[in-house]
Structure 1
Amino acid sequence: MPRGRPKNLSLYEQTKVRKIRMRLSEQKITRFDRLHDSALLQTVHIDSSGNIYVKYDYFCAQMQEIRRIVSDFIDE
């Protein structure tokens, strides 16, 4: 989970996050279930046609973590 306290969202942002979570669950994508609502809103975008986009910064951070775990495993 992201560090710090999650920011309070407006009603519009809360509705947007609810729709994002609903769309992700419909697609059976559970990768973002542990994110705070504000972090989810900054990380995932769904356009009007229903395509799901993930912010590149989040993707790179996850790839760095995977790379670190794999390198630690190989070094053992």
Structure 2
Amino acid sequence: MTDEDIRYDEDSPEITEKMFSKAIAPQRKKTEVKFSLDSEMLEWYTSQKIAYQSLINTLLRSYMEAHNHNRQRV
């Protein structure tokens, strides 16, 4: 899908910069840990010019939630 394919209406208005300026990301308590990652993988994440630690945290959380269906949610 391209940006041109997106239809905006009263149920799905266009998201504006003003909306983003008021957005609040949920804050969870974080604990600093030290562990080893594959060098090639870390190099790729750092080359993306993104907050790679937050992205890795999000990916690990998604994996945890996808595989936690029989356990109590964290």
* TM-score (ref. length: structure 2): 0.31
Structure with bigger helix share is 1
Q: Which entry has the higher C-alpha Rg, 1 or 2?
A: 2
